[in-house]
A and B are shown apart, each in its own frame.
Chain A
Amino acid sequence: MGELFKWDYSQYPGYKKYPHLFKPIQLGKLTIPNRIKYAATEDNLNDKDGFITDADVAYIRERAKGVVGGICCMQGVYMDEKRQGQGYVGQAACWDDKYIPGLKRLADAIHEERAVASCQLMHCGRVGAVEVAYCHGPSPVPQRLRIFRPVQVMTKDDIKRCVDQHVVAAERLCKAGFDIVEISGIVGYLVSNFISSYTNKRTDEYGGDIRGRMRMVVELIQAVKKAIGDRPLGIRLCSDELLDDVRGNTPEESMISYQMAEEAGVDYMSVTLGWQESIYPVISRDIPQGNWLFLAERAKKHIKIPVQMAYRLFDPAIPNKAIGDGILDFWEMCRPMIADPHMPKKALEGREDEIRPCVACNVCLARLFRDAPMTCYINPVCAHDHDPKFHIAPAEMKKKVIIIGAGAAGLECAWVAAERGHEVHVYDKLTEVGGTLLEARKAPYGDEELYYQINFAKAKSDKAGVQFHLGIEVTPELIDEEMPDTVVLAVGPKYIKGTAPGFDKPHVVGVLDVLAGKAKVGENIVVWGNKKPGVGVALYIAKQKKKVTVVGKNKDFAIDINPSFRWRYNAYLRQNGVTVYNDCDIAEITDNSVTAVTYDGYFIPIKADTVVCTERVPNQDLKNAVKELGVEVFEIGDMVIPRNLSSAVHDGYKVGLRI
Chain B
Amino acid sequence: MPVDAEKEISRLWRALHSAQDSTIKTFYQWRNAAVGLFPNANPSEIALKGWEAMAHDLGKSYFPRLSFSKGEEAFLRQVAGLYVNTWQGYGAVVKVEKGSNPMEAFIKWERCPWPSFAKDFAAPLKEDVAGCDLVLQITLEMINTFMGTNFKIETQKAIPRGEGVCLRRLYKP
Contacts and interface: CB of A to CB of B under 8 A. Distances in A.
A142 interface: yes
B12 to A, nearest CB: 6
A604 B8 contact: yes
Given A145-B64, A595-B1, A595-B3, A245 B69 contact: yes
A588 B2 CA distance: 9
Contact of A605 (B3, B69, B146, B148): B3
A501 B67 contact: no
Interface in A119-167: 140-146
B64 A144 contact: yes
Given A141-B146, A142-B142, A588-B1, 7 more contacts: A141-B145, A244-B68, A246-B68, A246-B146, A501-B1, A604-B8, A605-B3
Contacts of A197: 148
Contacts of A247: 68, 147-148
The 7 closest A-B pairs by CB, nearest first: A245-B67, A588-B1, A605-B3, A603-B3, A144-B63, A245-B69, A247-B68
22 contacts: A140-B145, A141-B145, A141-B148, A142-B60, A142-B63, A142-B146, A144-B64, A146-B60, A197-B148, A244-B68, A245-B69, A246-B66, A246-B146, A247-B68, A247-B147, A587-B1, A602-B8, A602-B11, A602-B12, A603-B1, A603-B8, A605-B3
B11 to A, nearest CB: 6
Interface of B is mostly: helix
Contacts, number: 50
Contacts of A246: 66-68, 146-147
Interface in B36-56: none
A244 B69 contact: yes
Nearest to B12: A602
Interface of A: 140-146, 197-198, 201, 244-247, 279, 501, 587-588, 595, 602-605
B33 interface: no
Contacts of A146: 60
Interface in B146-161: 146-148
A146 B5 CA distance: 39
Candidate in B5, B60, B146, B147 with the most chain A CB atoms within 10 angstroms: B146
Prevailing SS type, chain A contact patch: loop
Nearest to A197: B148
A143 B142 CA distance: 11
A548 to B, nearest CB: 20
Contacts of B60: 142, 146
Nearest to B61: A146
A247 B40 CA distance: 47
A145 B5 CA distance: 39
A142 B145 contact: yes
Contacts of A604: 3, 8
A596 to B, nearest CB: 9
A603 B9 CA distance: 9
A634 B60 CA distance: 50
A593 to B, nearest CB: 9
Nearest to A596: B3
A141 B142 CA distance: 9
Contacts of B145: 140-142
Contacts of B148: 141, 197-198, 201, 247
Contacts of B68: 244-247
A636 to B, nearest CB: 40
B26 to A, nearest CB: 20
A603 B12 CA distance: 10
Of the listed residues A143, A146, A201, A246, the one surrounded by the most CB atoms of chain B closer than 10 A to its CB is: A246
A501 B148 CA distance: 57
Nearest to B62: A144
Interface string B64-77: 10111100000000
A550 B148 CA distance: 40
A605 B145 CA distance: 45
B59 to A, nearest CB: 8
A599 to B, nearest CB: 13
Contacts of B5: 605
Contacts of B11: 602
A142 B12 CA distance: 37
Contacts of B63: 142-145
Nearest to B70: A245
B127 to A, nearest CB: 28
Nearest to B59: A142
Contacts of A588: 1
A245 B72 CA distance: 11
Nearest to A603: B3
Contacts of B147: 246-247
Most interface-central of B1, B12, B148 (chain A CB within 10 A): B1
Nearest to A247: B68
Interface in B1-44: 1, 3, 5, 8, 11-12
Interface string B131-173: 0000000000010011110000000000000000000000000
B16 to A, nearest CB: 11
Nearest to A601: B11
Contacts of A587: 1
A201 B147 CA distance: 10
B55 to A, nearest CB: 13
A534 to B, nearest CB: 23
A247 B63 CA distance: 13
Contacts of A142: 60, 63, 142, 145-146
A433 B142 CA distance: 56
B58 to A, nearest CB: 12
Contacts of A244: 68-69
A197 B147 CA distance: 10
A402 B60 CA distance: 56
A604 B146 CA distance: 40
